[in-house]
Structure 1
């Protein structure tokens, strides 16, 4: 990230400094560059000049390294006529070179932003329940230990859904097609009068704007995440603890957790709406 702006070439290292816009020449030629060209490894740029040109331009050798160095060098005249000192500038990533250091720009260059994904705001929303958001994120990335994934690793596990025993367990089936889970979804969707898509990824896209009402929109997202987390918990309880809970228990637990989360959010809200609050909207439907 350090580049050298050449003045008279009296201090810039010919081989090791980034002064040609191509990076250090030693990285281009390799360690044999100084040996083949005859310019020692500690030479400064000024030492590579002979009268009005680069020393390497006088060579008649057809050696590939010499030709490579010759092609990398800029015009010699501006350096020969310059009276300015060489200066070193900071250039993180694609930012313009500057004499000042920026921590933010350096961090961005060292940690380039990855490809944006459409589900980010649907998962890491303001007011989220951290555990629910994490399970939703892992599910969205299809990294939960579903039975179809375990069997693809050649593990000897049953393939059927433990909640309904009617189909193989996949992400799509467990969270949207299973008859057990359908009761959970129908309870909340019918009261909010919403109609989410039946495919998993379509549902995540739909969460961008599930309702024109901002309070209902947030409540819907919290319900979506709570349902995924609760269904996954129920599945694991049946496998590891042999505890089989009815859908009414799952629904009750979801309502209690969401209501507990909405209470502080409602108190902290600075909304200009005076007709109702976030928690008041919840009680309107539940």
Structure 2
């Protein structure tokens, strides 16, 4: 972060200061650097010079450490001929900053913000149901304990899908290549008159902007997460018991959960004359 703009080299530490484009040289070559080169650990840059250039240039050693250091050092004559003092400036990130210290630039340098993933809006949207969002987050990261993953861990489990028993179970199969889950998902998207793409990751990308209507966008995101949550719950239930629900029963549960979620959301909506609440749009499509 603190970079030395080298002048005459009478102040900057040869080993410890950040005066080359490669950072502190001691970090580059390790603690044995001073011993190998004969340049003292506390030496300043000017002490690594002789009358003609860098002391390292006159060494006949084939040491990889010395070869590396030679490649890192700037033009010696510029340092020898300089009458300017070494100066230290604050550069929090390479190529950024004007050299002035600020608390905000320090914070940004120390706390890097991660890149927002493409499925962020499909999972962490305003109005989500937390437990539904959590399962969706695991699914988006392919971290659900599907049978393909369990087999990859060396566990002895059947490979077939718990819901349809026709294909190998994976995240992409469960959502929504499986004949069972397809019935549930298709019911809702058909009622909303929307056409999502095929494939789980394609659906996640589509959910960033599935409709120009904000109410429809919220509904389809809520539905998507509720469907994932209940399908995963049904899948796990079948693993541990013989009780099975039909796709129609899952559809009814999704409708019930969404209806409960929409009441408080609709009450908070501020509508212009002629606009419909998200609850009204839901009732038009599903009641």
Is the shorter-chain TM-score for this pair beyond 0.5, marking a shared fold? yes
Report the counterpart of residue 24 of structure 2 in structure 1. Answer: 24
Question: Distance between the aligned counterparts of 1:230 and 1:113, measured in 2?
Answer: 30
TM-aligned CA distance change 1:275 to 1:94, over 3 Å: same
CA-to-aligned-CA distance 1:15-72 (integer Å, 9 cap, x gap): 2111122322334454444345443221123434556x54628x74322466655551
TM-aligned CA distance change 1:13 to 1:213, over 3 Å: same
Report the counterpart of residue 156 of structure 2 in structure 1. Answer: 156
Does 1:105 pair with 2:108? Answer: yes
- Give the deviation of 1:153 after TM superposition: 3.5
Report the counterpart of residue 59 of structure 2 in structure 1. Answer: 61
Q: Report the secondary structure of 1:239's partner residue.
A: helix
- Give the deviation of 1:277 after TM superposition: 1.2
So what's the TM-score if we normalise by structure 2?
0.80
Question: Distance between the aligned counterparts of 2:148 and 2:33, measured in 1?
Answer: 57
CA-to-aligned-CA distance 1:139-172 (integer Å, 9 cap, x gap): 2333222223323434332333333444443334
CA contact (8 A) 1:3 1:91 kept: no
Farther-moved stretch of structure 1 (264-273 vs 143-152): 264-273
- Give the deviation of 1:7 after TM superposition: 4.1
CA RMSD of aligned residues (A): 3.1
Does 1:126 pair with 2:126? Answer: yes
CA-to-aligned-CA distance 1:252-275 (integer Å, 9 cap, x gap): 321222223223333333454642
TM-aligned CA distance change 1:185 to 1:25, over 3 Å: closer
Report the counterpart of residue 243 of structure 1 in structure 2. Answer: 243
CA contact (8 A) 1:161 1:168 kept: yes
TM-aligned CA distance change 1:16 to 1:153, over 3 Å: closer
TM-aligned CA distance change 1:191 to 1:37, over 3 Å: closer
Write the mapping of 1:1-286 to structure 2, written as runs, cut at 5 A.
1-49=1-49, 54=53, 56=55, 60-64=58-62, 69=69, 71=71, 72-77=73-78, 81-84=82-85, 86-96=87-97, 98-101=99-102, 102-108=105-111, 111=112, 113-114=114-115, 117-270=117-270, 272=272, 274-286=274-286
CA contact (8 A) 1:148 1:170 kept: yes
- Give the deviation of 1:176 after TM superposition: 2.3
CA-to-aligned-CA distance 1:212-240 (integer Å, 9 cap, x gap): 32211210111111101111111112222
Q: Report the secondary structure of 2:209's partner residue.
A: coil
Q: Report the secondary structure of 2:4's partner residue.
A: strand
Structure 1: gaps spanning 5 or more residues: none
- Give the deviation of 1:276 after TM superposition: 1.1
Question: Distance between the aligned counterparts of 2:189 and 2:182, measured in 1?
Answer: 10
TM-aligned CA distance change 1:152 to 1:28, over 3 Å: closer
Question: Distance between the aligned counterparts of 1:188 and 1:150, measured in 2?
Answer: 31
Count residues in correspondence.
281
